[in-house]
Amino acid sequence: MSPMDALAAIGWDPAFAAGFGRHAAAGHVPARVVAEERGSFTVHDGMTTRPAAVSGRLRHESNGDALAFPAVGDWVAMARTDDGGRSTIHAVLERRSVLVRRAPTDHRTVAQIIAANVDVVFIVSSLNDELNLRRLERYLAVAWESGGLPVIVLSKADLDDDRDGHRSMVEAVAPGVEVIVASALAGEGMEAVLAHLSPGRTVAFIGSSGVGKSTLVNALAGRELMTTSGIREDDARGHHTTTRRQLVPLATGLVIDTPGMRELALLDGEGLASAFDDIDQLATTCRFSDCGHRSEPGCAIRAAVADGSLDADRLDAFERLQREARRSERANDVVARQAERRKWTLISKSVNRHMREKYGDER
């Protein structure tokens, strides 16, 4: 296999190549991030995997912005070492899509990238007590926002006695989204999942802990790539097994497996209109274009709730996510302003130090 064919097998294409010229002129080579853990990266250059770290300049220019750092699925410009040791990442190529959430605990950063350059986002929820429509709506908003195509996979169908009813419930809150009922153990639905994979195409599996993401990846691979474990008897949930995000090349395509997420806070509200397309379309038929959907006359949304064609709980979830998105956007502005102040404080200190060194304290 030629070097270019090897890169194509892990997702490289002419669009990425077109923006790589200046990096090639600097002597750098393309590579894809296949794993990340606590700031350490593993990259694949089409032929081999190797450890890598970001350059000091990239770290400095990022100014603490997590979105400027590499993430699993990213294409990067890398300086490769001849001895096979740790390589250096000098730049992150422009992303085609990015699956991102508001950082759950580290308040020094606003956002956390789940996966980059993903073509399809499989949202996995198991058909047992874990199934939660409000959680699915939240995942859909994040998936639509990413730029990838969301697909819902209802896993562990072999444990469900009312799969058709549950599927109908999910389809009602996921307009325009394909819903696949699957059982990796029984082989059910796997052809529909596999239909979204093809050589060079990247899919990501997201969902809560223990919903069967790793089991699905193993079924697609035809062998055990990811450690899995069974259902707990006390709460009908699977055990959490995946501990880091990682990209796995398969013969059929590329898969990103992710750890289960206890929190999935919205970074902004860009994906809400697609996730709640039914409500968004209803809003266009209100009498007033600035309708607040409260007590205004001619409100189509309130009329739909009244006649039962729109579930009141779904509307409440939509409004709750809208409020969350607005709070997140305001917080983003605050963090951005704080980062800008820190940057200029550092520049000012550097200038003052330079002036003292050049002219002394009596300048």
Q: What is the arithmetic mean of pLDDT over 321-327?
A: 83
pLDDT over threshold 90, residue 153 = yes
User: What does the pLDDT read at residue 236?
Assistant: 44
d(CA 73, CA 33): 5
User: What does the pLDDT read at residue 15?
Assistant: 92
Which homologous superfamily does the CATH classification assign to the domain defined by 99-257? P-loop containing nucleotide triphosphate hydrolases (3.40.50.300)
Q: What is the arithmetic mean of pLDDT over 298-321?
A: 91
User: What does the pLDDT read at residue 186?
Assistant: 87
pLDDT greater at residue 30 or residue 237: 30
d(CA 285, CA 353): 62
Structure tokens at 271: 């994906």
**Percent of the chain predicted with pLDDT > 70:** 81
d(CA 142, CA 267): 8
Partnered with residue 51 across adjacent β-strands are 42
d(CA 213, CA 258): 8
Q: What is the arithmetic mean of pLDDT over 154-162?
A: 90
pLDDT over threshold 60, residue 241 = no
User: What does the pLDDT read at residue 19?
Assistant: 87
Q: What is the arithmetic mean of pLDDT over 13-17?
A: 93
User: What does the pLDDT read at residue 360?
Assistant: 65
User: What does the pLDDT read at residue 290?
Assistant: 87
- For residue range 112-132, list pLDDT tens digits in order: 899 999 999 999 999 877 788
User: What does the pLDDT read at residue 353?
Assistant: 63
d(CA 254, CA 36): 16
Domain ranges of the chain: 3-94, 99-257
User: What does the pLDDT read at residue 333?
Assistant: 57
| First-to-final CA distance of the chain | 65
8 Å CB contact between 275 and 141: yes
CATH number for the domain running over 3-94: 2.40.50.140
